[in-house]
A and B are shown apart, each in its own frame.
Chain A
Amino acid sequence: MDIAVLFWYILGMFSFGLIVSFLRLYRKDHDLRKIMFALGLFPSVITFVYLGMKFPPPMQPENTILYYLYHWGTIPIIESFFFILIDRILYRKKDFSLAFILFLVFYIFSFISVITNFIPDVIYYTSLQIGTLITILFCLIMIIKERSFSGLLFLLSICSFTIGGMSLISYVTQIENSTTTMLTMFSFFMAFIFLALIFGISSIVKEKKGLEMHFSLENKIKTIEAALHDSEQKYHHLVENINEGIWVLDRNSKTTYVNSYMAHMLGYPPEEMMGKDFFFFIHDVNSDLKGKFSDPVTNVNRSYEIYISRKDKSSLQVSLRKSPLQNEKGEYIGEIVVIQDISDRKKIEHELEIKLDKLQKSELATLNIMEDLQNTISALSLAETQIRDKNQELQNINQELISARENLTILNRDLEKKVKERTADVEKLLRQKDEFINQLGHDLKTPLTPLNILIPIVKEKEQDPKLKELLSVISNNIEYMKNLVIKTLSFAQLNSQNYHFSLDDIFLSEHVNHILDMEKMFFEGKNVNLHNNIPQDIIVQVDQLQLKELFDNLISNAVKYSQPGNIQITLDAQKKDDFIIVSVKDTGIGLESNQINHVFDEFYKADSSRHDLQSTGLGLSICKRIIEKHGGKIWVESQGKGKGSTFYFTLKTPQNK
């Protein structure tokens, strides 16, 4: 057998293998393109087998069948490429059936035109060349636009087919040599290889790699199927376990599926709901809802709130959301409805509304309180203004008071000044008075001194009894005048403001002894007995000169008012509380009760009926004044006439300072 014949048979078998592979693929994925290629390759198989049988081929026109076969053999495969690429570029696999129908029309038309030869060769070849060029152009677009490897394979395959076809025609027509035979064979062979590579079909090529590819493809399909099954399971699980009702309806709103949650929500078993109208389950169905619901376009994913009827005739408020279902062709086939139980939510919303209402009420109350507060603030503000006014008044009053006080201070200062001036005047006058008294005393006493000395001498020397008596009168009056002057001045000094005491702590008894020594001198020859019984430890706080004058007065009084003879004068003292009570007791003529009350009066004389030249009536007044100046008291006690009298006075001890 010639090697060329063998090649033609191999090519025929190869083509046939491809057809079988395409048909098997179609059985799996129902892709019409596989049929298209199978039909496209069919004339090639016949042509290659016939060439093998009639090799070497007879020259034209003897072999008319072969001629027709040559013409028709590669055209359908080019048509296949043409329509597949048109579909790929223009329609994007949306619906291949149209391209397949056109392919079939052209397939039959080309067959009839070849058989009947009603189309002139020129037109036939020209249209074939244009179609081939367009196909090549599509391939180039595909390569450039999609950077697709399969586009390159398409291009190579088409070119190979074209070269193979052209060389086959030239081979058949005349140019029969081994080169064209080899070119034809090689071109077809390459075209098939490329075609097989495009679809991954390896059944023609009996190489190991091709088989492995086949198996891996099947494995992949199995894996995808398993994943799909798994995904379906997951989807089913998800739908069945979701906490929302899923309800699938057909285009007539009849139930085709409900998930268990939906069925549970309504209280029906799922199978009981199948085929029932959706609106059968709606509680308050109306035409408006129906209209809205049945419009698949405008109500996509819109949500409604409706009441649905449960099997036990109770109603349930739900939220409904629907979306249309489409088949692969994009046709409306029904609805998928998602339903959510919103009764709890509504309950909460209702509670919220009540609370909101309360809140609004409380807001209103707050507003009222605010208004009250504002009123209160206004009142407070008014009160504050009034207080401020009052404050201002008070400040004015205060200012007036301050100014009054200032005036008062000025007046006070003036007054003080005047008082000081007046005091100074008074003090000056007092000083002048004291000075006057001193001067008066001096001036009165000085002329009395010679009289006091001389009269007694004259009287003593006078022998004439009558003159002697007259001198006695003079002498007595001088004595009286002397006493009167001394006592009056003394009393005046005691009443003087400027008379200051000089207090000393002295032993009373010892001091009294000194005084008595002096007194005794004057009472010589009068039989006067002076007794000092004062305890020696008694200390008094006194002005010594005043104390001496006090005792002088009291003792001279006692002597004066005693009958001549045995005159007893007793001095004593005792402590009582914080005072020393001193007593001067005599055995004199005593006092009557009415006299006791007056003995300390100034110029009081016991016997006012006669002119007593011995008494000035000031001695006891001076005593009283002295004791008062010492802060003490003086009094006299007497049992009556002829029973003597006792003078008491109190003196302070040093502790009483």
Chain B
Amino acid sequence: MVTDIGWGTIFRCDLTSEHCQSALLKGGKNTHIYFGAIRVAHSPKKGWLYVADIAQHLIDRYDSKGHYQDTLTGEETDLLYPNDLWITETGLLVITDTNHHRIVAFDTESANFAQPVWEFLVKSDLEPIKHIGIFATEGFEPKARIWPIRLAQAFNQDWWVVNGDGNFFYHDVVVFSAEGKELRRIPIENSEPEPISLAPSENAMIIVDQRNLQVLSAPYEGQEISHFGDAAFKSALATLQIEHQNWIKLRETAWAVLALFVCLAIIVVYLEQRHKNTHKLSSHQKTKPFSASNRFISDRRSLTETAKIRWFYPNNTLIWLLFFLITVFLFIGIPTFESETLSLTLLPKEKYFTIGTVVPTWLILLYLSYINTQTGIGTDGYHIWLFDHQGYVLQESPAEIIYSKDVLISGEVVVQLRSIFNLPLYSSEKIQQYILPLLEPNNQKNILQTQWQLFKQGHFSLILQLLVMVIVVTLCILMIFYRFYA
């Protein structure tokens, strides 16, 4: 048995042992890797295996052992998104040429394989189906469902075709005669069915409705559609439907819980504001506010001259080190790991990954580098002055610095900065020499004790940052471990 899955790989599965082996089809244009969806059809006469590479508009042909033979390109066959394949009893390869709205057949035995034998359009003359449920808006014009995505030939030689709309959200099953004449549309009950697969049985076509988790049987003659399968099969499907409903309920519950916690967060913000207003710093702790504590960066120079402030600026060594490491990692590290089994190389097809990763990374690092040159900390010997990347200068007393939530542990004292990750960006010697004497000493012996002390005082930002850091690092390690060793 051969099956394909959404990751573009083909497996040979032994039904007895329930074991599958990857049938790597080597030698093709794209080696054995297909990106995106593929479809497979097997021609029993010669044992050919046809693989439709849908996004690339190609049909690859392999022999029964999985060795690549040749490729029909979209240029030769004029195919645009061949979403399904079917082999007829006479050996014709029939393809749903989706974006050309047609069903087209090729003679696989012919030397002139790329020339169509016959074709018919699936542009429906039937009235479009009216939407029901939330889509039943008055004046809503349903899109024509003329994009064929699946097909199967019934035992009476009619062609059953699943036609989607342009967005492939709504689907019809339409029956065409062997000559390509439109006969009828199959009426499927239930809200917005999504027929996704067809298979002929002796008297009826079996239709899989993915959205409603049902398998239907539509007779070749007549309109009466029934659920396919005996009680055991229907019971198995019913179990799946219940599980599906449970997942939906869980999602709704998660949304409700989210709403509750958002409400709690709003209440907390209110309580905190109220708490701040009722617990203002006493007059002896509070420095008289500077007449305009928020000043633009242009005032920094005048402040330096008038208030004799000594400013300290972060250095960007760490940022530039990150630049260097990422560059080395992406352009030297990854190709070094190249091997056939691990496939770590950035393939030519996947260059957009490089562009999509490296360019934003560099832009963010450049931005961080820029804002770090715009930020700083300073002191006039009595107060601590901060200016942020937007150019605002803030003057606060050491007590206010300690009171504020966003704090930084630096050796023996606590300093307010943007985050703990800015620590290496400042000269610790200068900070210790000029800023630290203004702040109250931290008597805790190590960083954990200090953090616990801060935690008890209500400084949660550090804990949260460290928690997130631990989670992300753990995830990275787990992914790498699972990827290479599991």
Bound together: no
On B, residues with C-beta under 8 Å from A are none
Chain A residues with CB under 8 Å of chain B are: none
